[in-house]
Amino acid sequence: MFKSLRSVSSLAQRASLAARNPLQQQKRFLNIHEYLSVKLLREYGINAPKGEVAKTPQEAYDIAKSLGSDDLVIKAQVLAGGRGKGTFDNGYKGGVKTFSSPEEAKELASKMLGHNLVTKQTGADGKPCNAVYICERKYARNEYYFAILLDRKSAGPVIVASAQGGVDIETVAAQSPEAIITLPVDNSVGLTQEMALDLAKKMGFTPKGQQQAADTFQGLFKLFNERDATQVEINPLSESSDHQVLCMDAKLNFDDNADFKQKEVFELRDFTQEDPREIAAAKHHLNYIGLDGNIGCLVNGAGLAMATMDIIQLHGGKPANFLDVGGSATPEAVKAAFEIITSDPTVSSAFVNIFGGIMRCDVIAEGIIAAAQDLDLKIPLIVRLRGTKVDEAKKLIKESGLRIFAEDELDTAAQKAVRFSKIVALAREANVDVKFA
């Protein structure tokens, strides 16, 4: 899987991939389960192995029996890479297994369902497995890699393909960049039959399989455009011994900005796979990403948020989150932001850094005061406000009578947030109750 869209632009230049920064993960893209991706592929006439989803061991048994094969695969439906090498919280290893009987399907499903699967992408807690996908096991004559992504450099979609599929594509790109084919596509023209056939030949499909491969490419490109996808990844895309072209595994991501016109797709969203804090933030139109530090940050604007996190780290601290309230937040949204920040038990200080352009400082101040009063904050709160209505905001904070540490200079405010955080952390280690109010 490609780790960032930025890496695609880079790959188009030098055929190499960059690892995704966790900060960029899951914020613009809806990610759906494999079995739902396969269902969507079939709507576009794209071939995939037969399979169904099971949510109980008995359903797994029934599906395996109905498929009428003794060569099947069961896959844990968890939105993370590395499922096959993952470990469940009950100690069972492997989220992808082959089996030959309905009884085995039932037994394997019972070990997966209801347990968290920990992979290299999930973090230590893992993600819950609430469904398993049971499908035919197909034997490929050849395996390929195929993906469509958005490329900033060409300002449009780019196809990334390789004859080396079924393996970690980042490794292929790093070790054998010449094995990566990139094809920018002009959306005003689309992916023509000629372009698709030429790509099938370059990838190494047999003469008998090239036409179906080209048809598959065009179907995937149509899905990409019509469904406002940001990524369509098939790994592996296989050609069987009888020259059938099959999508063996599918990963589809969709642009969150298109949710108003892709309601059918966005109804497929599985909230159990997401950070509950991110879900709560989305309800209030806040941009939130949890990190592994202990200084909660509330900022307006992504650029200022990045700068705030940088200066916190410069002074020896670690941000606990990226939280952008945007330019139209209400006092209620600001209060909700504090609820999200303080729900993280590792947070030992909170830093508010607002530059009031569109966002008025007095609105932020009202939200800060309401949060401090209603949430009974027990961590130090450092506030830096500059810009529109800043004097009114300072007055509100001063008259509130609350112990809020207001600073005008960013550097000073960041230093104070880091120092207070360390004090609280030490107090917690010593089991001493410290309250800043």
**CB of 23 closer than 8 Å to CB of 289:** yes
Question: Active-site residue among 34, 104, 170, 233?
Answer: 233
**Side-chain half-sphere exposure of 60, counting CA atoms within 13 A:** 28
Please say if the pLDDT value at position 23 is more than 50.
no
Please say if the pLDDT value at position 11 is more than 60.
no
179-202 as b/e: b if 16+ CB within 10 A: ebbbbebeeeeebeeebbbebbee
Please say if the pLDDT value at position 20 is more than 90.
no
Look at residue 257 in the predicted model and tell me its pLDDT.
85
Look at residue 15 in the predicted model and tell me its pLDDT.
30
- Of 9-13, 16-20, 311-315, 381-385, least confident by mean pLDDT is 16-20
Please say if the pLDDT value at position 132 is more than 80.
yes
Task: For 307-362, list the strands marked E by DSSP.
Answer: 321-324, 349-356
Please say if the pLDDT value at position 10 is more than 70.
no
Please say if the pLDDT value at position 401 is more than 90.
no
- Cα separation, 217 vs 211, in Å, equals 10
Average pLDDT over residues 378-386: 89
Q: What is the pLDDT of residues 236-287, one digit of tens each?
A: 999 988 889 999 988 899 998 888 899 998 888 888 887 788 887 878 778 8
Tell me if residue 267 is catalytic: no
- Cα separation, 148 vs 163, in Å, equals 15
Read off the amino acid at residue 283.
K
Cis ω before 57 (30° cut-off from 0): no
Look at residue 435 in the predicted model and tell me its pLDDT.
67
Q: Are strands 349-356 and 381-387 parallel, antiparallel or unpaired?
A: parallel
Average pLDDT over residues 180-205: 94
91-130 as b/e: b if 16+ CB within 10 A: ebebbbbebeebebbbebbebbbbbbbbbebbeeebbbbb
- Cα separation, 180 vs 10, in Å, equals 12
Look at residue 273 in the predicted model and tell me its pLDDT.
83
Tell me if residue 145 is catalytic: yes
3-state secondary structure of 37: helix
Average pLDDT over residues 178-196: 93
Task: For 359-399, list the strands marked E by DSSP.
Answer: 381-387
Read off the amino acid at residue 378.
K
pLDDT above 70 covers a percentage of the chain that reads 92
Q: What is the pLDDT of residues 144-175, one digit of tens each?
A: 999 999 988 888 999 999 998 887 788 888 88
Average pLDDT over residues 70-83: 92
- Cα separation, 92 vs 121, in Å, equals 18
- Top pLDDT among 388 and 225 is at 225
Question: Active-site residue among 35, 61, 133, 145?
Answer: 145
Please say if the pLDDT value at position 121 is more than 90.
no
- Top pLDDT among 167 and 223 is at 223
Give whichever of 166-180, 206-220, 370-384 has the largest mean pLDDT.
206-220
Please say if the pLDDT value at position 182 is more than 50.
yes
pTM score: 0.71
